[in-house]
Chains A and B, each alone.
Chain A
Amino acid sequence: MLFNSIQFAIFFPVVVAIYYLLSQRWRVHWLLAASCVFYMAFIPAYILILLVTILIDYFAGIYLERIQDPRSRKRLLWLSILSTCTVLFIFKYFDFFIGSFVGTAGLFGWRLPHPVLSIILPIGLSFHTFQSLSYVVEVYRGKQKSEHNFIVYATYVMFFPQLVAGPIERPQNLLHQFWEWHAFHYPNVTDGLRRMAWGFFKKLVVADRLALYVNDVYGAPRNFNGLQLTLATFFFAYQIYCDFSGYSDIAIGAAQVMGFKLMENFNTPYYSRSISEFWGRWHISLSTWFKDYLYIPLGGNRVSEQRHIFNLMVTFCVSGLWHGANWTYVLWGFLNGAYLVAGTLTKKWRNRMWSAVGVKQDSIFRQTIMLTTTFVLTCIAWILFRAKNASDALYVVTHLTTGWNFHQIATPQFFLRQLPVALAAILVLEIGQLWDRVTSVPASVVKLPTMARWALYACFVMTVVMFGVYKQMQFIYFQF
């Protein structure tokens, strides 16, 4: 079920109302049932895949706690990880790896058969797989007690607000919340609803309108001039941010309405002054997942410089592959890793250069240059992420500055009259974010008299309704 659908507009109030009417005994059951309905709205049969993942890690958790022998525990951990990852591999990566293998073999003149599964990727598979894996690893590390109540564990994996696109929760943060009594707390509910409204603004007004332009241009980049390619790349940076952080806002807000607290997933990433800072602010739940379960186990940065570079590159390439079974995603991960490596290697040199020209660390000029450079580098990386293939990506990169034609900005789906709306939406987004950095927007709004507050809310909701785009576009990250 999409958040931006009529079904969800009916589903959510019903689920919340019944949730608060139920006794604690039945609340988790109710949430699990609701989560099943939510997930089955996509492809019902795929819930069985989810069930397999849940069963594997549920029993793995229990036995990891029971077994005392370290070697047996380690074997069980790996068995659980491999089993869970096999499900992910079959559904997400089988065709990609076989295709790549057969393609590579072809380069050497070996003609191999090319079996293709052509299965539709279960929605959000990478998200709940990672959430499930984090549980097993945390139990293995002894940082989390195993969950013996199957209903509670299944709800932890399937909790509908964050089921299909995160945030990828850790058991320490979420699991215990299913055992707690969440009383109806009005300020908490209204906070959650406000957060959801902001998420819908990002998704419907910003992301989906920009998507009209981006889809046209990236669908056939060779039909568009340099200005259109540049604008589409700029728009995509905002589209993907608003699409994904909008989803996270709705998820966090929906959970908050029911009294749950999910982890934050974004922290205004485009205000970062370095790529390293960017990755601390973008998709935080995934970045920290890779840091905790891949980068640090590889040795992190407490190793030799070469090994550190290796660790960074491996982590980012795997992160790229996590996003999609396509070489463009791997290249995107590689490029981000390369940015970080270059940043690390040149840090001293850059500092010396700034000092030589007399620009202080905290000067506005230096901060602006750093912020702009980070944004531009991120946008260049997004080209790889968005392009259908490497050839299209190369074309876009090499034609960004050529043939600018200010009389030819519109695309078939995006008429010129939509441009002011799109730009205004970005402006409102930035003003909202900047305002929130100065002072908490919800806290300021709550201080207003009821009538003024309600009028403000109503205007905001009407703006979202009137300027939203409702082409039933899925959230980009669902495919991952």
Chain B
Amino acid sequence: MQNENNVNEMTAGGGVLVGPDLAVPSAEGRTAENVRGAFPWIPLARLGCFFGLLIGAMFVVNAMISTGLRRIKTSAFGAENLIMEGKVNADVVIAGSSRALAHYDPRTLASVTGKTAFNVGRNGAQTDMQIAFLNAYLEHNRMPGVVIFNLDAFSFVTSTHVFDSVEYMPYIQDPVLYNALKVINPNIWKSRYMPLYGYVVEDMNMTWIQGLKGFLGIYPKEDFYLGFNPRSKKWTNEFENLKESQPEGVSFEIEPAGIQDIQDLIQECQRSGIQLIFVYSPEYREMQSLTTNREEIFAKFREISARYDVPFWDYSDWRYAGNTEYFQNSQHLNAEGAAVFSDDVARRLKQFLQAPNSANVSSRGGEDGSRVATH
């Protein structure tokens, strides 16, 4: 047999073999010596010891990454750390998706209204995740007077997965955040209990390097200002690509669960005495006509706004909505656009805070091109 040498080698290793010609797959094939006392406890203990140490090392590295990310004082993690450590305590909080994140400069809001402001917008987050993060903010910080909740065409679409879940990993033990994440992704427990899972399996961007750097006191470049993350890019061709790939336009589902999320937010704010304001921040005009069920979505926004008496400021007709100089793509203003829009919305907010009722019943279309729900 060609494998005879291997067979002999294995015999020499301490085990008792039955050669291929003699072997039968039965108990008779084993000698009494082999059955009794032959189980290799010591080698197994060595292997167990090695893998135990390895798993221990993974827990240590996981803790170092989480600690490092929680230490960061700049950029996205810096903003998140301020929120989760309860160091924000702003009067005005802006919540929403990446559109909120890139459109509202809290510094402008603060200078115009005289109120402190902070932006808790989340990249790639649907309404459910936006609200979950807002709840985490409310849990750890003083109640704000006003929450500006930025709406999107996809506001009634619920999450199918947690976008950039690594951003939440340093705080995965936080019950408010964890319970919200669990609803969206039932498998999130793996990130909570399995070492490094949330950092290496769920994240493709090697954010763990940032964590280890943070542990050593090396922080990323600052690009967040009170939670606001301006986009410096000029108009890209993303919209042209979209038009080409979706010539019939796009539509966004109005899911009952999405409606419920927004109603829950309203009720939570009303219970806590927070003035909630819905704002539909500027969207590139040509994109508006490409959204086939936009009227239906806006009718639902208006209906909810009227039912719960929540102001709804619609900036669809913003004066620069058709000007690509102010946009990065159809959904996001660039830094220049955000500066203009932040000023517009800050002035409206100031007016609203001074005379809430008059601002709320004003006719459609302010000088900045915004619309106010006429309820």
Select B10's contact among A185, A417, A454, beta carbons within 8 Å: A185
Is B16 touching A183 in the complex (CB atoms < 8 A)?
yes
List the A side residues contacting B39 at CB < 8 Å: 20-21, 184
Is the pair A185, B14 in contact by a Cβ cutoff of 8 Å?
A: yes
Q: Does B20 contact A (CB under 8 A)?
A: yes
Do A183 and B196 contact each other (CB < 8 Å), given the known contacts A23-B35, A24-B27? no
Is B3 part of the contact surface with A, judged by Cβ < 8 Å? yes
Q: Across the interface, which residues of A come within 8 angstroms of B18, CB to CB?
A: 24, 179-181
Contacts of B43 in A (CB 8 A): 184, 186, 189
Is B217 located at the chain interface by the 8 A CB criterion?
Answer: no
- Taking a contact as CB atoms under 8 Å apart, the answer to whether B25 and A186 are in contact is no
User: Quick check: which of A122-130, A297-305, A466-474 contacts chain B, the rest being far away?
Assistant: A466-474
Interface residues on B, range: 35 or more
Most B CB contacts (10 A, CB to CB) among A184, A261, A468 go to A184
Q: State the Cβ distance, A226 to closest chain B Cβ, in Å.
A: 20
CA distance A462 to B57 in the complex (A): 9
Q: State how many residues of chain A have any CB contact under 8 Å with chain B.
A: 48
Whole-angstrom CA separation of A84 from B16 in the bound complex: 39
Tell me the nearest residue of chain A to B61, going by C-beta: A462
A178 within 8 A of B: yes
Q: How far is the CB of A420 from chain B (nearest CB, A)?
A: 11
Determine the distance from Cα of A27 to Cα of B6 in the docked complex, in whole angstroms. 20
Tell me which of A24, A173, A180 contacts B2 (CB under 8 A): A173
Q: How far is the CA of A183 from the CA of B23 in the complex (A)?
A: 14
Q: When the two chains form their complex, are residues A186 and B26 in contact, meaning their CB atoms are under 8 A apart?
A: no
Shortest Cβ gap from B200 to chain A (Å): 6
Number of A-B contacts (CB under 8 A): 121
Contact indicator B24/A179 (Cβ below 8 Å): yes
- Shortest beta-carbon distance from B361 to chain A in Å: 46
The interface residues of chain B lying within 8 Å CB-to-CB of A261 are: 3, 6
Given contacts A24-B26, A176-B3, contact A454 B17 (CB under 8 A): no
Known contacts: A180-B19, A184-B43, A462-B57. The answer to whether A173 contacts B13 by CB under 8 A is no
Contact with B along A1-42 (1 / 0, CB 8 A): 000001000000000000011011101100000000000000
Residues of chain A lying within 8 A (CB to CB) of residue B205: 415, 417
Cβ contact within 8 Å between B17 and A180:
yes
Q: Which A residues touch B14, using CB under 8 A?
A: 183, 185
Residues on B with beta carbons closer than 8 Å to the beta carbon of A186? 13, 40, 43, 46
Q: For residue B50, which residue of chain A has the nearest CB?
A: A454
In the assembled complex, how far is the CB of residue A478 from the closest CB belonging to chain B, in whole angstroms? 20
A176 to B6, CA, bound (A): 13
Question: Which residues B1-38 have CB closer than 8 A to chain A?
Answer: 1-3, 6-7, 10-11, 13-20, 23-27, 29-30, 34-35, 38
Interface residue B340 (Cβ < 8 Å from any Cβ of A): no
Q: Does A293 contact B (CB under 8 A)?
A: no
Interface contact A458-B54, CB-CB below 8 Å: yes
- Assess the A188–B47 pair: CB atoms within 8 A: no
**A467 — which chain B residues lie within 8 A by C-beta?**
206
Contact yes or no, B57 A184, CB < 8 A: no
- What separation, in Å, do the CA atoms of A225 and B46 have in the docked complex? 53
How far apart are B161's CB and chain A's nearest CB, in angstroms? 13
A173, A183, A186, A467 — most chain B CB neighbours (10 Å): A183
In the bound complex, do residue A180 and residue B47 qualify as a contact, i.e. CB atoms below 8 Å apart? Answer: no
Given A24-B18, A181-B23: A465 touches B200 (CB 8 Å cut-off) = yes
Which positions 69-127 of chain B face chain A at CB distance < 8 Å? Answer: none
Give every chain A residue within 8 A of B57 (Cβ-Cβ).
458, 462
A231 within 8 A of B: no
* SS class, residues of chain A in contact with chain B: helix
- Most chain B CB atoms below 10 A, which of A24, A172, A189, A415: A24
Is A182 in contact with B196, judged by CB distance below 8 angstroms?
Answer: no
Given A23-B35, A173-B2, A465-B58, is A181 in contact with B27 using a C-beta cutoff of 8 Å? no
Contact of B53 with A by CB under 8 A = yes
Distance A21 CA – B27 CA, assembled complex (angstroms): 13
Shortest Cβ distance from residue A313 to the other chain B in the assembled complex, whole angstroms = 33
CA distance A461 to B1 in the complex (A): 37
A212 touches B (CB below 8 Å): yes
**Neighbouring B residues of A471 by C-beta, 8 Å:** 204
B284 adjacent to chain A (CB < 8 Å): no
Q: Is A177's beta carbon under 8 Å from chain B?
A: yes
A421: chain B residues within 8 A (beta carbon)? 206
Write the A100-116 contact mask toward B (1 if CB under 8 angstroms, else 0): 00000000000000000
Q: Which has the most chain B C-beta neighbours within 10 Å: A6, A176, A462, A471? A: A176
Q: Would you call A398 an interface residue if the criterion is a C-beta within 8 Å of the partner chain's C-beta atoms?
A: no
In the complex, whether B208 has a CB less than 8 A from a CB of chain A is: yes
Contact B40 A470 (CB under 8 A): no
Contact, CB under 8 Å: B204 / A25? no
Q: Is the CB of B27 within 8 A of A183?
A: no
The chain A residue with its CB closest to the CB of B196 is: A465
In the complex, A190 Cα to B34 Cα: how many Å? 21
B242 within 8 A of A: no
List chain A residues, Cβ under 8 A from B20. 176-177, 179-180
Tell whether A182 pairs with B10 under 8 Å between CB atoms, given A415-B205, A458-B53, A466-B200.
Answer: yes
Does residue B218 face the partner (Cβ distance < 8 Å to A)?
A: no
Which residue in chain A gives the minimum CB-CB distance to B56? A458
Q: Does A221 contact B (CB under 8 A)?
A: no
Is B306 interfacial (CB 8 A cutoff)? no
In angstroms, how far is the closest chain B Cβ from the Cβ of A471?
7
The interface residues of chain A lying within 8 Å CB-to-CB of B38 are: 183-184
With A180-B17, A181-B29, A181-B34 already in contact, the answer to whether A259 and B10 are too (CB < 8 A) is yes
Given A172-B2, A458-B54, A462-B57: A179 touches B25 (CB 8 Å cut-off): yes
Interface residues of A in 241-259 (CB under 8 A from B): 259
| A185 x B200 contact (CB < 8 A) | no
Interchain CB contact (< 8 A) of B25 among A25, A417, A462, A468? A25
In the complex, A190 Cα to B49 Cα: how many Å?
A: 14
B201 within 8 A of A: yes
| Residue A449 interfacial (CB < 8 Å) | no
A25/B26 contact (C-beta < 8 A), A183-B15, A189-B47 known: yes
Could you tell me if B2 and A152 are in contact, using CB atoms closer than 8 angstroms?
no
A187 contacts the other chain (CB 8 A): yes
B122-164 contacts to A (CB < 8 Å): none
Residues of chain B lying within 8 A (CB to CB) of residue A68 = none
Least Cβ distance of A174 to chain B in Å? 9
Neighbouring B residues of A363 by C-beta, 8 Å: none
Contacts of B29 in A (CB 8 A): 24-25, 181
Contacts of A23 in B (CB 8 A): 27, 30, 35
Instruction: Judge if A457 is at the interface, Cβ distance under 8 Å.
Output: yes
B34 touches A183 (CB 8 A): yes
- Which of A181, A461, A470 contacts B30, CB < 8 Å? A181
- Residues of B with C-beta under 8 A to A190: 47
Contacting residues, chain A, for B61 (C-beta < 8 A)? 462, 466
Q: How far is the CA of A471 from the CA of B204 in the complex (A)?
A: 9
14 pairs of residues in contact across A and B, judged by CB atoms under 8 Å: A24-B18, A24-B23, A152-B25, A173-B3, A179-B25, A180-B7, A180-B23, A181-B15, A181-B16, A181-B34, A184-B40, A261-B6, A454-B53, A457-B50
New contact pairs (17) apart from A182-B15, A457-B50, CB-CB < 8 Å: A23-B35, A24-B27, A180-B23, A181-B17, A183-B17, A184-B43, A185-B13, A186-B43, A186-B46, A189-B47, A259-B10, A261-B6, A462-B61, A465-B196, A465-B200, A467-B206, A470-B200
B residues sitting closer than 8 Å to A (CB atoms) are 1-3, 6-7, 10-11, 13-20, 23-27, 29-30, 34-35, 38-40, 43-44, 46-47, 50, 53-54, 57-58, 61, 190, 196, 200-201, 204-206, 208
In the A-B complex, the 5 residue pairs with the smallest Cβ-Cβ separation, listed nearest first, are A183-B15, A185-B13, A186-B43, A179-B23, A470-B201
